[in-house]
Amino acid sequence: MKFSLLALASLSLANAGVSDSLRRRLSFEKIAGYSPGTQVTDHCAIDLDQNLIEIELSKQTDSSFQAAEQIYNQGGSSKSYAELTLNNPLFSTVEEGTLIQGEASNGLDVNGKAYGTYVQGSTVIRMSYQTSDDQDNHVGCMVGGLPLSNQKTDGCLANVGTISVGATNYSYEYDPTTQNKNGRTIAGFSEVAGEKMRLTCDGCPYKDHQYFYEYYGIDDYGHQWVTAALNGKETSFVRGNADFSVYGYDGKVEAAKKGMLFFNIFMYVIREFEDALDDCDRDCEVEDCNDDVVHSWDEGVCFYTGSIEGQDGVTKDGKLLHQLADKRCHDFKTCGKNGDENEGNAKLNSDLFDLFALGNFQLQGKKCDEARGTVSEITRLMYIPFIQGTLRYAYRVGELNGDGGEKSAAEGAVFAAAILPRVYAANQDAAEVIYENMKVGANKTNFVEVKKALESVYGDLGLKCSDVGGLWNDGINDYWEGGEPCGPIGDMDDEDLLIVSVVAALGGIIFVSILAACFVRNAAGGSTTVAAKQPDLQPTTDAELS
């Protein structure tokens, strides 16, 4: 099902809770056009870690790889906190979130709050640094695993001093260079996957994480992939293994930096949206739950987009999934409003950000079931760049005589690894074909086989050929030979567009929102299991899905 948000207009509301929420939403900087309802600047800043990791990896030395791995594991840009040793034990228990104040070495005030709960008698306490609404200056202390030249210390607590915890003062000491740490890291996104996506969440197991868990056989597949790539080792998955010892620096760089994004960050984006649904489903009043629900949703948008994209999202310097979609649309002529251009922003991003706004609206109104449908639509679309990337590099390696060498082969391997679990859930034979052609160290790559295998499961993935597009060649202003889209590309049929008008009276004021939903239908009696009916991996065309 594909939604298109035609309008989301909010009039003045008498309902104080909703009105306050909307005022909060409008007070924060936009995220590539999306208006968050909560402060998430600290979350968006995770892309600063990704950027610095890529800078270190590009140097292609053993020491730079070690520096990159340190940033990956220890962070530095998001959720900064100080670990302090008190000269006297706590007089009473300090609850998580208790305000803490101190001074930096330059005499400036430093504000924060207790990072965790600490019982009476504790001599070690963690203080998370206060964050700002200003994305470019979201926090004053950034150390963690960052190289010295990239650290920001003006807003860190002095190495010795006094902090006020609530109404009580305590003297402390710590080492600012080693005890200013970070509670949010790219490695951590994967390390906690089992706990947060399969075992302890209200909606566990989350469907998309389960695809990857069942394919790779472990929860922290992303962390294992990245660590193996950085160190030139072999993974130990149930299936889909990769031996990075066959790569030099070129291959390891691509496998590592893309693995962090495609595995760790990608799945954590989905986790945040699922967590918002869990919050929504809890038995509580909208006013009590609204902040938690919207905050989780805003976090998901942040992790998809990052901070470098800015408020308009038109830069080419972004480092997360938003930028990935924009890059791939140029290669597959799926840019622009209608997805038929090879310049500008991806239609995928336009569709997703409509859905992000729609989901925010649904959650604020506690329309949990409707929001669940929106999340399903978001996750369906998020796999498109992985398919495009797999096709792009299968073509470069298989049809263009290995154009790009080891770099292209590695890029193809990591793109394929990111889509394989989803393909495997639809058709195991198709997944095996893709893996054998695209795996690290593959003897050969047959583009035709890879394309056919991917297209055979488009129906199961809820995708049309026009969603993926075809391999575009700017030089000839046409598709590469053999890389054309698998079916006709055209505008949606009029009957596929359902306009829904939502009219609600809130405190006597009419709240009108016009929503649009496009439904993917299946010709075979509404069945969605296309690949199961086509064991010979026949491509699924747009005509078959309309």
DSSP conformation letters of 61-124? SHHHHHHHHHHHHH-SSSSEEEEEEESS--SS-B-TT-EEEEEBTTS-EEEEEESS-B-TT--E
434 vs 451: CA distance, rounded Å? 9
The two structure tokens encoding residue 546 = 């309309």
**Confidence bin at 425 (pLDDT 50/70/90):** very high
The per-residue pLDDT for range 244-298, each reduced to its tens digit, is: 999 999 999 999 999 999 999 999 999 999 999 999 998 655 454 557 899 999 9
The two structure tokens encoding residue 460 = 């199961």
Q: Is 300 helix (H, G, I), strand (E, B) or coil?
A: helix
Which strand (E) or helix (H) includes residue 297? Answer: helix 286-305
- CA-based end-to-end distance of the chain: 12
More confident residue, 513 or 422: 422
- Looking up tokens 């929102």, which residue turns up? 513
Quick one: 341 exposed, middle or buried, by C-beta within 10 A (0-12, 13-18, 19+)? middle
**Confidence bin at 453 (pLDDT 50/70/90):** very high
In this prediction, residues 201-229 reach a mean pLDDT of 98
**422 neighbors 355 (Cβ within 8 angstroms):** no
Indicate left, alpha or beta for 469 from its phi (over 0: left) and psi (-120 to 50: alpha).
Answer: left
DSSP summary character for residue 139:
-
The two structure tokens encoding residue 350 = 């336009």
More confident residue, 263 or 5: 263
343 vs 477: CA distance, rounded Å? 12
* Residue 529: pLDDT over 80: no
**Confidence bin at 24 (pLDDT 50/70/90):** very low
In DSSP terms, which residues pair with 165 in a beta bridge?
100, 168
**Confidence bin at 430 (pLDDT 50/70/90):** very high
The two structure tokens encoding residue 296 = 């989780």
**Confidence bin at 533 (pLDDT 50/70/90):** very low
Checking DSSP bridges between strand 160-165 and strand 99-103, what pairing results, if any? Answer: antiparallel
**Confidence bin at 508 (pLDDT 50/70/90):** very low
DSSP summary character for residue 129:
E
The per-residue pLDDT for range 176-214, each reduced to its tens digit, is: 999 999 999 999 999 999 999 999 999 999 999 999 999
| Mean residue pLDDT across the chain | 88
Class of domain 80-183 (CATH, top level): mainly beta
Confidence (pLDDT) at 414: 99
Q: Which of 400, 423, 57, 387 is nearest to 255 (CA)?
A: 57
Confidence (pLDDT) at 23: 36
Domain ranges for the chain, please list them: 2-48+188-491+525-545, 80-183
**Confidence bin at 26 (pLDDT 50/70/90):** low
Confidence (pLDDT) at 511: 35
Confidence (pLDDT) at 110: 98
157 vs 175: CA distance, rounded Å? 10
